[in-house]
């Protein structure tokens, strides 16, 4: 244990606690995957790397409040992390009592201490999204190793006990170890595995943006995490178009975050959201990201989804939404991704452009679709369109079907309220007719 023997410490800092926390939060968050990557390169073991990275943050936590921030905090963290990883490696080597044990001198000769530190974050992301692992495991591992979320935080995001998440992470690490997946040499060009990384980030975003179950419509931590991961991916692979498209899509969607629910947590649809509260900074980021994505030339699914999100995010008001362009984009999307969900959204766009009757005709075909039969969406949309056409009985029947299928409590309340309004209007009309007679 070392340290000054008098109160001479850092110069008195004057920034408030919140500012210190923001600076450190951003620094720790950014450095976390770098630290894990560096430790993993040395130890070759994901669990050991995670432990070393965590110890490094604790070392900073011990020292920095007393000694002040070092001149280059990131470099300080990296040095501490690598030294501790080397300590682990030496301890393991001693434990194995291998004749060819790597001595400190050999390590120095090997250049571990002196070579420039490679940025291993992309390699780490790709490792977390390894095809050997299930999608659930990929998501949990990515959130822990790249995002730095604790198992409790991940569990909260997915409405699962922390023990379940911890188990997924442990199994994933074991699986990679058992299959001898070597971090440093596994894939010389990790960009080839970007599609699986994009899938994982997209899934995290979807779960965060529209929770499939539970009492909350949105889960800020997960959607924010997906945004950060998309930003990191574009930083690491700036020449690839698809990550930019994903970043644009998430930016546009998250820009509406504050207005998607009211003060009571009830769902607010696009037509009633207060657009003055949309986050213009995120919309701006989305526009720039979309331009980068377009320059890739290929119009893939992510780019088209981002274009669709841009149509909504950049419309000054709901009435100004360019539904013709949206229908065109859905046509394009359906040509490369002919799924019932795309067909459903396209039907809504057509209903908005040509009137509810045109949408209902398309939805009738979708109510029997196997993929959608357990989803409330086709029923709730049809109910809304019937309501707009004045077909109250059909609308109420569809709302009933939707409520049988919905799993998110906030959406259930929204559907129930819409049904009540419709039934109330209908009753008032009947009473009015009766009184008139």
Partner 1 sequence: MTAFLLVGSRPLEEPERSPAMAARDAAALTTWHRGLRRWGLLSSFAVPDEDGHGAETAPRLCLVVQVSGADAARRLAARWEGLGGYSVTVLALREVADEGGCAAERRAS
Q: Nearer to partner 1 by C-beta: 155 or 387? A: 155
Cβ atoms of residues 81 and 52 within 8 Å: yes
275 belongs to the binding site for partner 1 (CB under 8 A):
no
DSSP conformation class of 408 = B
Q: Nearer to partner 1 by C-beta: 12 or 263? A: 12
- DSSP code string of 202-255: HHHHHHHHS-SSBS-S--HHHHHHHHHHHHHHHHH-TT-HHHHHHHHHHHHHHT
Cβ atoms of residues 305 and 329 within 8 Å: no
List helix spans (H) across 355-391.
356-366, 377-389
Question: Closest approach of Cβ 151 to partner 1, in Å?
Answer: 6
Question: Closest approach of Cβ 216 to partner 1, in Å?
Answer: 20
List 34, 49, 89, 148, residue binding partner 1 (CB under 8 A): 148
114 belongs to the binding site for partner 1 (CB under 8 A):
no
7 belongs to the binding site for partner 1 (CB under 8 A):
yes
Interface stretch with partner 1, choices 1-9, 111-119, 241-249, 321-329 (CB under 8 A): 1-9
Q: Nearer to partner 1 by C-beta: 149 or 348? A: 149
12 belongs to the binding site for partner 1 (CB under 8 A):
yes
How many angstroms separate the CA atoms of 197 and 125, rounded?
7
Cβ atoms of residues 149 and 143 within 8 Å: yes
Site for partner 1 in 21-40 (CB under 8 A): 21-22, 24-25, 27-29, 31-32
Cβ atoms of residues 378 and 412 within 8 Å: no
What contacts 24+ positions apart, CB below 8 Å, involve 140-144? 140/165, 140/168, 140/169, 140/172, 141/168, 141/169, 141/172, 141/173, 142/200, 142/201, 142/204, 142/229, 143/204, 143/225, 144/50, 144/169
List 38, 40, 46, 57, residue binding partner 1 (CB under 8 A): 57
Question: Closest approach of Cβ 44 to partner 1, in Å?
Answer: 20
Cβ atoms of residues 218 and 257 within 8 Å: yes
Site for partner 1 in 66-95 (CB under 8 A): 66-67, 76, 79-80, 83-84, 87
List 44, 54, 314, 412, residue binding partner 1 (CB under 8 A): 54
List 5, 99, 114, 281, residue binding partner 1 (CB under 8 A): 5
Question: Closest approach of Cβ 144 to partner 1, in Å?
Answer: 9
Site for partner 1, rule CB under 8 A: 1-7, 9, 12-13, 17-18, 20-22, 24-25, 27-29, 31-32, 54-55, 57-67, 76, 79-80, 83-84, 87, 148-153
């Amino acid at each position: 244990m070392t340290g000054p023997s008098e109160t001479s410490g850092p110069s008195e800092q004057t920034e408030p606690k919140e500012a210190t926390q923001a600076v450190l939060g951003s620094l720790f968050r950014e450095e976390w995957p770098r630290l894990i990557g560096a430790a993993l390169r040395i130890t070759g073991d994901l669990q050991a790397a995670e432990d070393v990275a965590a110890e490094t943050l604790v070392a900073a936590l011990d020292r920095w409040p007393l000694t002040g921030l070092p001149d280059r905090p990131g470099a300080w963290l990296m040095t501490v992390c690598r030294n501790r990883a080397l300590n682990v490696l030496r301890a393991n080597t001693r434990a194995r009592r291998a004749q060819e044990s790597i001595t400190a001198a050999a390590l120095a000769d090997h250049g571990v201490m002196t070579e420039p530190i490679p940025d291993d974050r992309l390699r780490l992301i790709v490792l977390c999204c390894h095809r050997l692992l299930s999608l659930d495991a990929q998501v949990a591992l990515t959130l822990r190793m790249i995002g730095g979320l604790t198992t409790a935080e991940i569990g909260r995001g997915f409405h699962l006990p922390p023990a379940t998440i911890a188990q997924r992470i442990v199994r994933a690490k074991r699986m990679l170890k058992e299959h001898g997946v070597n971090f440093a040499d596994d894939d010389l060009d990790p960009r080839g595995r970007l599609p699986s990384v994009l899938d994982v980030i997209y899934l995290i975003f979807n779960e965060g943006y529209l929770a499939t179950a539970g009492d909350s419509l949105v889960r800020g931590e997960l959607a924010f995490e997906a945004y950060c991961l998309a930003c990191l991916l574009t930083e690491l692979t700036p020449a690839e178009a698809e990550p930019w498209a994903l970043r644009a899509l998430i930016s546009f969607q998250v820009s509406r975050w504050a207005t998607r629910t009211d003060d009571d947590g009830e769902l607010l649809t696009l037509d009633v959201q207060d657009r003055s509260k949309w986050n213009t900074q995120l919309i701006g980021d989305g526009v720039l990201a979309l331009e980068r994505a377009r320059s890739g030339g290929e119009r893939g699914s992510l780019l088209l989804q981002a274009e669709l999100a841009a149509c909504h995010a950049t419309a000054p008001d709901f009435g100004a939404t360019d539904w013709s362009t949206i229908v065109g984009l859905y046509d394009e999307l359906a040509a490369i991704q002919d799924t019932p969900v795309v067909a459903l959204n396209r039907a809504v766009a057509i209903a908005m452009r040509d009137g509810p009757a045109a949408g209902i005709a398309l939805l009738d075909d979708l109510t029997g679709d196997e993929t959608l039969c357990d989803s409330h969406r086709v029923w709730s949309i049809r109910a809304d369109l019937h309501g707009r056409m004045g077909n109250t009985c059909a609308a109420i029947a569809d709302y009933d079907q939707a409520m049988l299928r919905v799993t998110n409590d906030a959406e259930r309340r929204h559907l129930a309220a819409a049904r009540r309004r419709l039934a109330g209007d209908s009753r008032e009309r009947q009473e009015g007719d009766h009184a008139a007679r």
